Amino acid sequence: MDEKQSKKPVMLSGIKPSGELTLGSYLGAIRNWAERANDYDCYYFMADLHAITVRQNPADLRRRTLEQLAQYIACGLDPQKNTLFIQSHVHEHAELGWVLNCYAMFGELSRMTQFKDKAAKNAENINGGLFTYPSLMAADILLYQPDFVPVGEDQKQHVELTRDIANRFNGVYGETFKIPQPFIPKIGARVMSLVDPSKKMSKSEDEDPGRIILMDKPEDILRRFKRAVTDSEAQVRFDPETKPGISNLMTIYAAATGSSFAQIEAEFAGCGYGDFKRKVGEAVVELLRPIREESAKLIRDKAYLESVYRDGAQRASYIARRTLSKVYRKVGFVGL
């Protein structure tokens, strides 16, 4: 191992800048990431290459990529302690993505549920990038030889395919890639839509009344919680099967306040849903207030953001370059 590389376990994850970051992105992902900075060597990036598998408005994509960086930092990802970068700045991602395409099977890629879902939703634009999305994601991951990849439940299949591709490559060429583990946090792992608790709180759909974005104003947050779907039992009790709406609100409240489900059930015993929903809304307002204020401040500081992503790209490239040159050598490319 190179002396510049630390001995801490490595973590890596990415989020596509294809929609606004939500309460779900924060509670399910970013907040957990921020807590690990001291114990892990962490890489987080804006997956802009992945974002264009669905048609994007260029100005919006650029704006959201920078906003996302500002929001990562506002959520507690300290750029001194974490490597924060923009995927397209590290060209090794696209290059290794191509190589891994040649080790990902048509059948495997066809079985990815995200591909099937997206193909159904974007019937007019089922492009090659959408199909080979998982090989690029495998490249994102394998370049950094991470131990863990924190992702939501919906991305687990992609991490499993990454492991299969890595094992296949290692089997042919000898030990090249570390085999990463998906890492799915328990609490807040899945924040569901407030209006349809059978669906994940989505970041991609515009103006969805079921989601809370990090930049939502307090009055909007309160209004959305007020309208959240519940059930007819009038009892605050955790049971995701029969009470998905209430259980989702309890998950959010637990993650926002640190209370356990038992404590929440006791706190709201005999209370109406109206009171409960207001309390959850207020807890979320307070949770997001500092994040919204800090993000708004950072997004105005273009020079600072630029210094962060330049530094991040440099640190990321250093590692990515070494993995890519090893791969190029193993597959038989002539060195330059």
Residues that bind ligand TRP (CB under 6 A): 12-16, 47, 50, 137, 140-141, 149, 151, 155, 158
Q: For ligand TRP, give the closer residue by CB, 117 or 275.
A: 117
200 catalytically annotated: yes
The CB-of-166 to ligand TRP minimum distance in angstroms stands at: 13
Q: For ligand TRP, give the closer residue by CB, 47 or 228.
A: 47
Take residue 70 and report the two structure tokens written for it.
């500002």
Q: For ligand TRP, give the closer residue by CB, 83 or 155.
A: 155
Question: What is the C-alpha separation between 110 and 105, in angstroms, rounded?
Answer: 9
Q: Which of 4, 8, 16, 200 is catalytic?
A: 200
The CB-of-159 to ligand TRP minimum distance in angstroms stands at: 7
Give 173: exposed, middle or buried? Use CB within 10 Å, 0-12, 13-18, 19+. middle
Q: Which of 203, 243, 277, 279 is catalytic?
A: 203
The CB-of-180 to ligand TRP minimum distance in angstroms stands at: 9
Q: For ligand TRP, give the closer residue by CB, 180 or 245.
A: 180
Residue 202 identity: S
The CB-of-243 to ligand TRP minimum distance in angstroms stands at: 27
The CB-of-253 to ligand TRP minimum distance in angstroms stands at: 25
Whether the CA torsion 119, 124, 128, 133 is positive or negative: it is negative
Q: Which of 16, 118, 243, 279 is catalytic?
A: 118
The CB-of-247 to ligand TRP minimum distance in angstroms stands at: 23
Q: For ligand TRP, give the closer residue by CB, 15 or 212.
A: 15
Q: Which residue is nearest to ligand TRP (CB)?
A: 14
203 catalytically annotated: yes
Measured in degrees and rounded to the nearest 5, phi and psi for residue 42 equal -110, 135
Q: Tell me whether strands 148-150 and 82-86 are parallel, antiparallel or unpaired.
A: unpaired
Cα–Cα–Cα angle for 31, 130, 97, rounded to 5 degrees: 75
Give 39: exposed, middle or buried? Use CB within 10 Å, 0-12, 13-18, 19+. exposed
Q: For ligand TRP, give the closer residue by CB, 12 or 287.
A: 12
Which residues are the active-site residues? 118, 200, 203
